[in-house]
């Protein structure tokens, strides 16, 4: 199994290097950061998600995969920036530090911060950001409200971790 994982990582790395060589430096950085973020979110898992199925709800993510892939590149960059900001806000809280492994959480926050630094100049030039950002912030408001309502239980955090992991793939 480990060998298959190594081949997958090698393939993604090779594909990312090819994208970089084609002049898509910003996309390359984001792609590699996404893989790192997804891996860190996977490592954060403390309890099997199937034990928390009763705690899962529909947070009403604002876009479907088809809609998101049809967005213009600058709009996707804006959504990515606001999403990463909001993910950072979810995981920087004292409640989050009480719930997760501190080392992994610190690595996740560091990776998010790195990604946000690279996106800041692009987002500042994007006129679509205010409108798209509202939808993302409403989505994350539902996540915060959910966590508060569940009193930051382990299963609530697991449901949020899985939700963020699922939608981070779109970015």
Mean pLDDT by 10 residues, the chain (171 residues): 42 43 44 86 94 92 79 82 94 96 96 88 61 89 97 96 91 75
Per-residue pLDDT, 131: 77
Per-residue pLDDT, 14: 42
Which pTM was predicted? 0.78
Per-residue pLDDT, 122: 59
d(CA 54, CA 90) in angstroms, rounded, equals 21
Nearest to 137 by CA among 65, 50, 57, 62: 62
Q: What tokens were used for 25?
A: 């430096």
d(CA 69, CA 2) in angstroms, rounded, equals 31
**Inter-residue contact 96 to 156 (CB < 8 Å):** no
Per-residue pLDDT, 25: 44
């Amino acid at each position: 199994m480990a060998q298959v994982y190594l081949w997958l990582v090698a393939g993604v790395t090779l594909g990312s290097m090819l994208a970089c060589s084609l002049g898509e430096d910003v996309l390359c950085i984001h792609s590699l950061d996404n893989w790192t973020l997804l891996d860190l979110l996977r490592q954060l898992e403390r309890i099997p998600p199937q034990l928390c199925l009763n705690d899962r709800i529909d947070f009403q993510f604002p876009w479907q995969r088809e809609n998101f892939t049809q967005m213009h590149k600058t709009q996707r960059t804006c959504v990515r920036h606001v999403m990463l900001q909001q993910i950072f806000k979810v995981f920087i809280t004292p409640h989050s530090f009480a719930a997760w492994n501190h080392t992994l959480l610190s690595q996740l926050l560091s990776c998010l911060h790195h990604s946000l630094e690279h996106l800041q100049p692009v987002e500042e030039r994007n006129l679509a950001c205010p409108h798209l950002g509202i939808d993302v912030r409403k989505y994350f408001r539902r996540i915060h409200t959910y966590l508060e309502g569940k009193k930051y239980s382990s299963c609530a955090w697991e449901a949020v971790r899985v939700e963020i992991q699922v939608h981070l793939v779109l970015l």
